[in-house]
Structure 1
Amino acid sequence: MTSDTNYVGALGDCWPVQEISRTAVAPLERLKILLQVQNPHAIKYNGTIQGLKYIYRTEGFRGLFKGNGTNCARIVPNSAVKFFSYEEASKGILWLYRQQPGNEDAELTPLLRLGAGACAGIIAMSATYPMDLVRGRLTVQTDKSPSQYRGIAHALRTVLREEGPRALYKGWLPSVIGVVPYVGLNFAVYESLKDWLVKSRPFGLVEDTELSVTTKLACGAAAGTVGQTVAYPLDVIRRRMQMVGWKDAASVVTADGKSSLEYTGMVDAFRKTVRHEGFGALYKGLVPNSVKVVPSIAIAFVSYEVVKDLLGVEMRISD
């Protein structure tokens, strides 16, 4: 085992792979957010292909990658905190579970992994949430926005000055709630699929206790698909709450300057979204998100496993 410091630092070394994967799908990520928050009375983006064409036509090639710099900047601290927290939470939860009579030799179950993944996701998300809010706003603003955030630092200063410190955590509650199905299911499905493949060896896929990169990729893709689908409505509400009080995004206001994104809280956001736009509005942007999230999460998990192999860290927490 490596020390905690080296372990966190090593996980951060995955950032080149993650930045490449996130940059590759950045246009889809920006379109997803634009679809999530656009004013229903001023529709500009009607689908994946049309939306990408519209962004390219109105903002050029660089417009497809707006907000990607902030997204990449979040990768190192978010990934390091998340995976380190997952390992530590798993050890702690398993230790507590084994203290109960009859569970001395127990292994991590999918439910325990869900709890560890949820803890890790909440810690990592909370630590980097202000950057996520800024990323959302940089992504949504267009060349026609009345005023412009000039970058990460300028956006943070502007939000603090004009809206106060609490504004940096707008949408935090649905994010926390969404962590349980999203990050929790990601880890639970991924680890459980790996264990099942190793122990049952279905269809001759596994010939020894080591899984190939391709198999891990498939497990990560399956985990990402399940997690993002279940938690997606909460992601839509989070993005909409992040835009509340911000009038300078051309994509969320009408020509007369009115915004449809005025909510007093998470429940109010859910209620107004469904009442005014229908239940389907909770899944706006799901198509481009589905296209981009599977390779992104799968590559992240493979990078995680490769680093653990290089460090000589245990392959599965259940061992």
Structure 2
Amino acid sequence: MASEDVVGKRSESAVTTIVNLAEEAKIAREGVQAPSDALLGICKSLAAGGIAGGVSRTAVAPLERLKILLQVQNPHSIKYNGTVQGLKYIWRSEGFRGLFKGNGTNCARIVPNSAVKFFSYEKASKRILWLYRRQTGREDAELTPLLRLGAGACAGIIAMSATYPMDMVRGRLTVQTERSPTQYRGIFHALRTVFVEEGPRALYKGWLPSVIGVIPYVGLNFAVYESLKDWLVKSRPFGLIKDSELSLTTKLACGAAAGTVGQTVAYPLDVIRRRMQMVGWKDAASVVTGDGSSKVPLEYNGMVDAFRKTVRHEGFGALYKGLVPNSVKVVPSIAIAFVTYEVVKDILGVEMKISE
């Protein structure tokens, strides 16, 4: 009996050892796989967001190009007079491809921009929430609209700065026409030409109003969207919300409201940015001034000077040139981005909150 007890204890000990070793091996495997799984999840999320952004931007590319043309056209030589007339003029003068000029650069810019913006917002919001909870001493505290505005502003500034050269050449590719003496043949040709002929600093012309512009635009985009969703879930006004999960239509409405508020507030800075981007481009004169006159100044000594000269020569309304087509594209752009993201997310198995 004694020998049997000894054998039994040894067997139990061996089984325990094997179980412990198996658990340790599992933990080790999980420890090795966790970083790669996390990286794979991030890549899938970025891919879903990038595809959604590219599809939505392509769908509204004609309105995007018309907006930029309205922003920089000469008030003494009007070519584009309104949304419908402007689209018809582009179709007649440049054909179908003219409606999508510059869209390749725009789409190429979307993936890294969305990647940096999403990543920066998540990191900034978590850090701000941690500091806020530490300051208030409340572990259950949530981000306020103002804190979301700050996190969104940080994300917008980082994303804009990281991808600004692409945005700069996109503006030039969009503005050039078949009559321009010199043609940019594509994204990289435009980047190289600007770098060689105008210097590396030229790739960041208009950067300051752009950065200032993303503070209200991206900041309000995140803040209004997420705060509006939280308010709908918690208050459930008029009995529209039955549970904590918002419908796709409700999310689209929240996104449209956020985009409309943000772009309306920041739009004048976008106009100034585009005009500053054209400075130093000799072929821009044929586009911006039309008849080659010097009535519209092409040289700006900074953002404030650009504001002053634009208002002085063209009036305050010039700061909102192209606002109508820009506003018209907000709702369909957001709708398409949400639907596309949901489809790609399901295909890739991504679980990620859309915050723009």
Structure 2 length-normalised TM: 0.83
Instruction: Tell me which of 32, 43, 46 is aligned to 2:81.
Output: 46
Aligned twin of 1:280: 317
Structure 2 counterpart of 1:12: 47
Conserved? CA contact 1:159–1:168, under 8 Å = yes
Among residues 255, 274, 288, which one is paired with 1:239 in the alignment? 274
Deviation at 1:70, TM superposition (A): 0.5
The amino acid that maps onto 1:292 is K
Q: Would you say how many aligned residue pairs link Structure 1 and Structure 2? A: 316
Give the structure with the higher percent helix: 2
Report the Cα distance in structure 1 between the residues aligned to 2:48 and 2:188, rounded to whole angstroms: 24
Q: Secondary structure at the match of 1:41?
A: coil
Change (3 A) 1:280 1:32: same
Q: Which residue number corresponds to residue 174 of structure 1?
A: 209
- 1:236 deviates by 0.4
Q: Are the counterparts in 2 of residues 8 and 81 from structure 1 also a CA contact under 8 Å?
A: no
Q: Is 1:163 the counterpart of 2:198 in the alignment?
A: yes
Please, which of 306, 311, 316 is the counterpart of residue 350 of structure 2?
Answer: 311
* Deviation for aligned residue 1:305: 7.0
2:186 matches 1:147: no
Which residue of 2 is the match for residue 205 of structure 1?
240
Q: Distance in 1 between matches of 2:158 and 2:71?
A: 25
Which residue is equivalent to 1:251?
287
Please report how far the alpha carbon of residue 57 of structure 1 lies from its aligned counterpart in structure 2 after TM superposition: 1.1
Letter in 2 for 1:311: V
Identify which of 17, 21, 25 aligns with 2:56.
Answer: 21
1:253 alignment partner AA: T
How much does 1:197 deviate? 0.9
Of stretches 301-310 and 215-224 in structure 1, the one that deviates more from structure 2 is 301-310
Distance in 2 (CA, whole Å) between partners of 1:73 and 1:19 is 8
Q: Cα distance 1:205–1:128, how it changes in 2: closer, same or farther (>3 A)? A: same
Q: Give the CA deviation at 1:303.
A: 5.7
Structure 1: stretches of 5+ with no match in the other structure: none
Classify the secondary structure of the residue corresponding to 1:128: helix
Instruction: Give 3-state SS (helix, strand or coil) of 2:179's partner.
Output: coil
Answer yes or no: is the 8 Å Cα contact 2:55–2:337 preserved in 1.
no
Displacement after TM superposition at 1:84 (Å) = 1.3
TM-score for the superposition, normalised by structure 1:
0.93
Inter-partner Cα distance in structure 2 for 1:279 and 1:117 = 28
Q: Per the alignment, in what secondary structure is the counterpart of residue 60 of structure 1?
A: helix
One-letter code aligned to 2:179: K
Letter in 2 for 1:54: Y
| Structure possessing the higher radius of gyration over alpha carbons | 2
In 2, the alpha carbon distance for the partners of 1:55 and 1:308 equals 36
Q: Which residue of 2 aligns with 1:33?
A: 68
Shift of 1:214: 1.1
The 1:236/1:316 distance shift into structure 2, 3 A limit, reads: closer
Give the drift of 1:173.
0.3
Post-superposition Cα deviations, 1:283-309, rounded to whole Å, max 9, x if no partner, equal: 000000000122223444566677778
User: Partners in 1 of 2:281 and 2:75 — Cα distance?
Assistant: 17
Q: Cα offset for 1:126? A: 0.8
Q: Which amino acid aligns with 1:166?
A: R
Of residues 296-305 and 18-27 in structure 1, the stretch that sits farther from structure 2 once superposed is 296-305
- Decide which of 290, 300, 307 is 1:270's aligned counterpart: 307
